[in-house]
Structure 1
Amino acid sequence: MKKKLLSLAFAVVFGFTATANTPIDGDKKTIKTSESTVTWKGYKVTGEHAGTISLKSGSLDFKGSKLTGGEFVVDMTTINTTDLEGEYKGKLDGHLASDDFFGVKAHPTAKLVFKDLKSFNKDSYTVTGDLTIKGITKEVTFVVSVFENKATATLKVDRTKYNIKYGSSSFFDDLKDKAIYDEFDLVVELAF
């Protein structure tokens, strides 16, 4: 009887220990926002402008070493032009924050949520996600590459899908050299 109780006690203790040490089926990596960058580039007939915008929060989901998801919030109030200085920089930053473009008073954040990921090599994935800008959510597809504790992505975004029509020749005639192209680029480098 004592042997049976001792065996039962060992089974309970070792069974509990094995259960307590079993890894969770997935790992959420928090993005280090201060070490991550989001760079934007917008194009017009007569040239281009570039700048940065800050991540407010974000995470990437993994199962083992495989990327399985992600979610990010961008602080739209941090939109910053880096290719201009002084008065012209201030004017462009203010215009981008205005209702003509991103309307940051009413919409201080933008959000990207991964919906579907397909691996096409060891470190790269085609991602389909929901991008929300100015309260409007549209599907986007892009490539994410993961190396050690870093991830990179480049997105091409059609601003008119988010009701940002200012200077778009798709909506206004006779803009000539004042036209601003509908698509802009985002280059994202994430540290986790």
Structure 2
Amino acid sequence: MKHMLTFGALLLAPFFVLASGDDAPSRYTIDAKTSTITWEGTNVTRAHNGDIAINNGMITVDNGMISAATVVIDMTTINTLDLEGGSKATLDRHLSSDDFFGVEQFPTAQFELLQLNPLRGGENGANFSATGKVTIKGRTDEVSFPVTVDMTDGGAKISGEMVLDRSKFDVRFRSKSFFDAKELGDKLIYNDFTVGFKLVAGK
């Protein structure tokens, strides 16, 4: 059964506080080669998962605090991991089509950080709460989620996951937000999909 990219779109997100004594803002680059973004989506009968590549990403740190961050995702790299051969190729094509993410018209998705706050007692070691804007297919929605930040020499490692609602981005295929759930039956694909990320940032 065709399934939803739990993207992107998706997408991804770098956030952290850097300890810096410089007054001038510093910029750090997300390493697209060592960073990873994964996705998972589900329908009534099963789940699919995969990964997607980062196009570019940048953060700005001002007076030891992050003041801006963006991550651009290459939607043309949608890649299914739980299937092989013809089934994999078919799902990759379908997710890239206008039924889902329309990558020919919308080849990138983007995350823009709005706010990053310290978090105590977060699950799975999360120590910050991030809020940002996700743009997929030209539609933008705001999302909040926990992240774990591990400082390194001259950079940081950031990991976590966010849950996105595909209906917010006009991804309609077999969605109960656009079609009758009873008529869809076991062909229904759930709106929510999960995007996991492990980001490496440095100069």
Equivalent in the alignment of 1:41:
40
Equivalent in the alignment of 1:109:
108
2: CA distance between counterparts of 1:63 and 1:147? 18
Equivalent in the alignment of 2:175:
168
1: CA distance between counterparts of 2:146 and 2:68? 13
Q: Which amino acid aligns with 1:168?
A: S
Identify which of 136, 139, 143 aligns with 2:142: 139
Could you report, residue by residue, the CA deviation over 1:85-127 in whole angstroms, capped at 9, with x for unpaired residues?
0111011000000000000000000000001121124972211
Equivalent in the alignment of 1:70:
69
1: CA distance between counterparts of 2:126 and 2:97? 39
TM-score by length of 2: 0.79
2: CA distance between counterparts of 1:56 and 1:162? 20
CA RMSD of aligned residues (A): 1.8
Matched residue of 1:33: which SS?
Answer: coil
Matched residue of 1:156: which SS?
Answer: strand
Deviation, 1:64, is 5.8
- Alignment check: 8 A CA contact 2:23 2:62 kept: no
TM-score by length of 1: 0.83
Identity %: 40
Equivalent in the alignment of 2:17:
none
Structure 1: unaligned runs, 5 residues or longer: 1-21
Could you report, residue by residue, the CA deviation over 1:122-180 in whole angstroms, capped at 9, with x for unpaired residues?
97221111110001111111122210221012110000000001011232121111110
Q: Which has the larger radius of gyration?
A: 1
Q: 1:25 to 1:120 in 2, by over 3 A?
A: farther
2: CA distance between counterparts of 1:65 and 1:150? 16
The structure that is helix-richer by fraction is 1
1:11-22 → structure 2 map (5 Å cutoff): none
Greater relative contact order structure (CA < 8 Å, 6+ sep) = 2
The size of the alignment, in residue pairs, is 171
2: CA distance between counterparts of 1:76 and 1:165? 17
